[in-house]
Amino acid sequence: MKTLLLFLSFLLFNSFLSFAAEEPNPVLDINGEEIRPGVEYHVVSLIWGAGGGGVTYGKGPGNEICPLAVVQAPSDLNRGHPVTFTPVNPEEGVVRVSTDLNIKFSEPPIINFCRGSNVWKVHFNEALEQHFVLTDGVEGNSGCETEANWFKIEAIGGLGYKLGYCPAVCDSSSEAICKDVGIYYDDDGTRRLALSDQPFLVVFIKKNVDILKSVTSA
């Protein structure tokens, strides 16, 4: 009996080690610190200069006022509006790569005529035949009815990342769309976040952290 108990304990211990080893890596900000749920970060282009700035609010794809869209500021001096991340597991203490999460603007737009939420969601625009990232999504409540609200962060090497959409929160047999989040350029030059084969490469800067200080210390 003692031998059996020792053998079972050994199996359980090895199973725990295997699970721990397979846990996805945490997402890091530009200073190499782990990103935490509920903490405010700016999502900024990895490519400085012509790459543009951070994500912020904008009008909808057809210049609709509501719901507001997620766009990229054209200037790299503009960090945009900060966001917070909420992992699908509410008990998770860090944000991890390749894991479903909600993204939400933590501050309202300066001028707001909409009553919807600041949570990001994917919405298909039939006129343009394109999936855009808009606001007015639902936070939490993972399942098929909230599938449009779940994004992923994927590492691309170093401290660079890309945003993706490939939700795993629905148990339905239907296959979910799996795409990178890229930039869709309107005729007027507006840079809209949309599902794409070309990813929008980003870094994460904690709110109120000096960019130059972050870069020199990274």
pLDDT at residue 174 in the model: 57
- 130 - beta bridge partners? 125
Position 12 in a domain:
no
Predicted confidence (pLDDT) at residue 92 exceeds the cutoff of 90: yes
Q: Which residues make Cβ contacts (< 8 Å) with residue 69, sequence separation at least 6?
A: 57, 58, 59, 60, 61, 132, 133, 134, 135, 192, 193
Position 73 in a domain:
yes
Please say whether the beta carbons of 52 and 32 come within 8 A: no
Position 67 in a domain:
yes
Can you give the CATH number for the domain in which 90 is found?
2.80.10.50
Position 108 in a domain:
yes
pLDDT at residue 50 in the model: 72
pLDDT at residue 63 in the model: 85
Position 11 in a domain:
no
Q: How many domains does the chain have?
A: 1
Position 212 in a domain:
yes
Task: Please give the average per-residue pLDDT across 155-165, as a whole number.
Answer: 91
Please say whether the beta carbons of 71 and 139 come within 8 A: no
Position 6 in a domain:
no
Quick one: tokens of 9? Answer: 């304990």
Structural domain that includes position 38? 26-217
pLDDT at residue 172 in the model: 61
Position 199 in a domain:
yes
What pTM does this model have? 0.84
What are the pLDDT digits (tens) for 190-209?
A: 999 999 999 999 999 999 98
